[in-house]
Amino acid sequence: MPRRLAATFVATALTAGPALLLGAVPAHATGSHGPARGTADAVVLRTGLNVGLLHKTLDVPLNAVLNDVHAPASASKTALTVTLDGIDGGKPFSVLRADAATARGTADRHRAEGYANLVRAKVRLPGLPPQLSLIEARQVTAKAVCAAGQRPRAESNVLGPVRVLGKKVTLTAGGTTDVKVPGVGEVRLDLSRKSVTSKSAAATALELKVSLNPLRLNVAEVHGQVTLVRAGCTAPGGTAPGDNGSGATSGGQTGGQSGGQSGGQSGGSKPAGGGTHVQQTGAKPGTGQNLAETGGSSATPYLAGGAALLVAAGAGAIGYTRRRRGAAPQGGRG
């Protein structure tokens, strides 16, 4: 009977112990449950320009960005100042000034939203007279929403009058407007460009293709692209679109992300292309953190304790059996 009892303890411990131990230590990341989070981004201004210096073959890149955020984050800065090598003796140059400039991105497993807003904004470029802006706008907004199980949507609005190179222009939704000023240059303006797929959406309120020949401040020409107010998102469980998926910022992102994004967000740093020092003024962007949590469930301590008791009982049973076997021959001889 003692041997059978010991064998039972041993079998129970060896069978149940490992199973309980395996069930006691599951570790998981909270992000692995349910669909992946969506993504969202927004930017108020991005430039991808080349500034040609007078009497030289050198092009100085002007890659600047203001309020470029990726969810979860927000930024509220109203001015963007740059310094260009060889331009006006290296003096700081104001590219954008606005009464309000906001970008916001939010995302979770149910919904992702990008939003950008600009109020009473003036965008200036080097070489233009101080009183002449590339563009003036009263209010510009862009919004992209991607909700789980719903078709993504994107929208942009330009409220109030818009002036390009001092000329008041009439904009057509989804259309293109050409503005030409003799002795200054020309601008092609695209309004409300949108891209919507089954999993992503993006909207750009204004996109300007610039070709200027101001012949001032040692500037012979300025050409490239300016993106004004963009928002994008991908649905929870979706795949983030590439640069071409935005549908509106392929040209501006080429130079803006490589040099202007790093320079614009750090403030005062120099992009890879060289030539541009960027400084932003306004509130500091807020960022959020999504950290994975690991560990077992609330029953882990009880499972671990029970497994330990079973292992101890099994060890005791084995020891008891060995002592019985060692004592049996002696008892027989007595």
The more confident residue out of 74 and 314 is 74
pLDDT for 130: 84
CA atoms within 13 A of residue 126's CA, in its CB half-sphere: 34
Task: Give the pLDDT confidence score for residue 91 in this predicted structure.
Answer: 87
pLDDT, mean of residues 294-313: 52
* Region label for 274, one of left (φ > 0), alpha (ψ between -120 and 50) or beta (otherwise): left
State the sign of the Cα–Cα–Cα–Cα dihedral 90, 49, 176, 103.
Answer: negative
Q: What is the DSSP letter of 216?
A: B
pLDDT of residue 289: 34
Range from 25-29, 139-143, 314-318 that averages highest in pLDDT: 139-143
pLDDT at 58 over 70: yes
Contact (CB, 8 A) for 260 and 63: yes
- The DSSP annotation for 28-42 comes to --GGGSSSPP-EEEE
**Confidence band of 326 (pLDDT split at 50, 70, 90):** low
**What are the phi and psi torsion angles at 253 (to 5°)?**
-75, -25
* Mean of the per-residue pLDDT values of the chain: 74
Composition of the chain by helix, strand, coil, percent to 5: 25, 45, 30
The fraction of the chain above a pLDDT of 90, given in percent, is 45
Task: Say which range, 10-14, 29-33, 106-110, 117-121, has the weakest mean pLDDT.
Answer: 29-33
pLDDT at 321: 59
Q: What is the pLDDT of residue 88?
A: 82
Mean pLDDT computed over 236-252: 47
> How much of the chain, in percent, has pLDDT values that exceed 70?
60
- Residue 264 pLDDT > 60, yes or no? no
Cα separation, 154 vs 242, whole angstroms: 17
pLDDT digits (tens, 9 = 90+) for 70-108: 999 999 999 999 998 888 888 898 999 999 999 999 999
Selection from 44, 46, 38 nearest residue 283 by Cα: 44
Would you state the pLDDT for residue 314?
Answer: 59
Looking at residue 276, what is its pLDDT?
Answer: 61
Task: Identify each DSSP E strand in 183-298 by its residue range.
Answer: 185-196, 200-212, 219-234, 276-282, 286-287
Instruction: Please give the pLDDT value at position 36.
Output: 84
Q: Does the N-terminal peptide bond of residue 26 adopt cis geometry, omega within 30 degrees of 0?
A: no
Residues in the chain: 334
* 135 vs 245, higher pLDDT: 135
Digit-coded pLDDT (tens) for 118-132: 999 999 999 998 889
Q: What is the pLDDT of residues 144-198, one digit of tens each?
A: 999 999 999 999 999 999 999 999 998 877 788 999 998 899 999 999 889 999 9
